[in-house]
Amino acid sequence: MGALTAEPVAAAATGLAARLAGVTVEVRGRGRDSSAGAPAGAGVVWRADGLILTNAHVAKGAVSIVLPDRRVLPARLVARDVEQDLAALVVEATGLSAAEIGDSDALRVGELVLAVGNPLGIVRALSAGLVHATGRRFIEADLRLAPGNSGGPLADARGRVVGLNAMIVGGLAVAVPSRAGWRFVRERLAG
């Protein structure tokens, strides 16, 4: 029987991190944060036609998006729901690498999840943890988030986006479930 080595696991983890970074954007806004060069938050490329989902609290002053290839594009806010903490931005770009969206209702307590965002200005940083609780309005996980992670993807161990990171409550990361994101897109952007 052959010995197990860490190399295949490490290669899979770095590949997954790169794939998630490739669908995570920087959301830049007006004021102090943008002039200092720090992202206001993050967003997920939801569709290849330029639709980006983020949190409503990130998008309230959004003016531009920095794509993974470092292109800076103006963003147009097309829908915002403060109660659900969701916002849809559109950039004039096609052929973007879009995230694979997973089913947040299938997520179980104890599953490994990953978060990508721009915490404290560190672009596309990765954090990992376990699902602590799930619900229709939120997912809680024991992973590290900081200002700048908001709006970025919460992904399962296969790299499917199951939520959008929103905040820290009681030391736990809280994310808006992907099902809420799909419903928001369907209801607000139909037609």
Q: Which of 85, 104, 127, 156 is catalytic?
A: 85
Task: Find out whether 86 and 189 touch, Cβ atoms under 8 Å.
Answer: no
SS3 state at 189: coil
Q: Which of 64, 127, 150, 178 is catalytic?
A: 150
Q: Which of 33, 49, 57, 81 is catalytic?
A: 57
SS3 state at 60: coil
DSSP symbols for 82-123: TTTTEEEEE-S--S--PPPB--GGG--TT-EEEEEE-GGG-T
Is 156 marked active-site? no
Task: Give the single-character DSSP code of 50.
Answer: S
Is 57 marked active-site? yes
Is 85 marked active-site? yes
Task: Give the single-character DSSP code of 142.
Answer: -
Catalytic residues: 57, 85, 150
